[in-house]
A = this chain, B = another copy of it.
């Protein structure tokens, strides 16, 4: 069974991991957000690709939710001592990856190709594709001004209200090699329970990808990132409030207007199922908290149950 997944970082990684507990990894293609990529100390960092890589390769730090397990911070200690910026935490093991990737990009290698090599080197059997090889940067407009995504998210601790999310470069960005093919070939396209505004939004802001997903709407299922109207982690609920006017399943559905055939909701949001069907989208109620093995299995069964026999 071929399945394509649009995914951000933490939520995306856990969802893909859950899928590969059931499906052979080689059946899965992950199309990952790169809108929160940034340059730190001259290095190209792709936080979502890295979270996916680390989690799926089994060496992510489970507690922190980002970066590598058993990480050390000696380079950062030096940077701090020398008066450099340390708001974006780069671990030593993590740095090795950024150095390899940045060097390849500077040589002119596309991000998709570097990512494929790295994924292979850490033993991943699924296909991990950046949504685009082109420059695409998520920016957040707030009452305090406009910020690059990581500046808003990490440096300022997403304390400023997001009034608008801008996908800088999306108009010129094309899908990375393999992305459209994966979307066309998939028996099911899943949108992971990632933040629709800053994790999935940048992927769908690429016109070719949006059109491909739209064409296959009946095969597209999104998993709501909210449980009882709250985000498991991160600023998704606050963003729903300021950007979509509420944290209900209806608002989640509206984020994917014209793009999805079904929406998976947590049992805590069961009362809200009608708001989904009213919008012409099939609601699927199940447990969605991926930290619980039973719920995780149930979620995957629900999602995969949509594939016609």
Contacts from A to B (Cβ < 8 Å): 41-43, 71-72, 74-79, 81-84, 91-97, 99-100, 102-103, 106, 117-118, 121-122
Closest beta carbon of chain B to A22's beta carbon, Å? 28
Can you report 11 residue pairs joining A to B where beta carbons are below 8 Å apart?
A41-B102, A41-B103, A42-B106, A72-B92, A74-B93, A75-B92, A78-B94, A79-B99, A81-B96, A82-B117, A92-B95
- Could you tell me the distance between the alpha carbons of A303 and B95 in the complex, rounded to whole angstroms? 45
The distance in angstroms between the C-alpha atoms of A117 and B83, with both chains bound, is 9
Point out the residues of chain B lying under 8 angstroms from A81, CB to CB.
96, 121-122
CA A94 – CA B84 in complex, angstroms? 14
List the B side residues contacting A93 at CB < 8 Å.
74-75, 77-78
Name the B residues within 8 Å of A43 (CB-CB).
42, 99
Please state if A83 and B121 are interface contacts (CB–CB under 8 Å).
yes
CB-nearest residue of chain B to A41: B99
| CA distance in complex: A84, B102 (Å) | 12
- Give the Cβ gap from A142 to chain B, nearest Cβ, in Å: 27
* Complex CA–CA separation, A96 to B82 (angstroms): 8
In chain B, what residue has the closest Cβ to A39? B103
The main secondary structure of chain A at its interface with chain B is: helix
Which of B83, B99, B118, B121 is the one whose CB lies under 8 Å from A75?
B99
Min distance, Cβ A83 to any Cβ of chain B, angstroms:
5
Assuming the A-B contacts A72-B74, A74-B72, are A82 and B97 also in contact, with contact meaning beta carbons closer than 8 angstroms in the complex?
Answer: yes
Q: Which residues of B contact A117 (CB under 8 A)?
A: 82-83
Q: How far is the CA of A266 from the CA of B158 in the complex (A)?
A: 65
Residues of chain B contacted by A42 (CB below 8 angstroms): 42-43, 99, 102-103, 106
Closest residue of B by beta carbon distance from A73 = B92
> Complex formed: what's the CA distance from A100 to B76 in Å?
10
Whether the Cβ atoms of A82 and B41 lie closer than 8 Å is no
Q: Which residue in chain B gives the minimum CB-CB distance to A120? A: B83
Contact assessment for B102 and A75 in the assembled complex, using a CB-CB cutoff below 8 Å:
no
Question: Are the CB atoms of A99 and B72 closer together than 8 Å?
Answer: no
A72-B72, A106-B42 as given contacts; A100 in contact with B79, CB under 8 Å: yes
Q: Which of B82, B84, B118 contacts A82 (CB 8 A)?
A: B118
**Set B75, B84, B100: member contacting A41, Cβ < 8 A:** B100
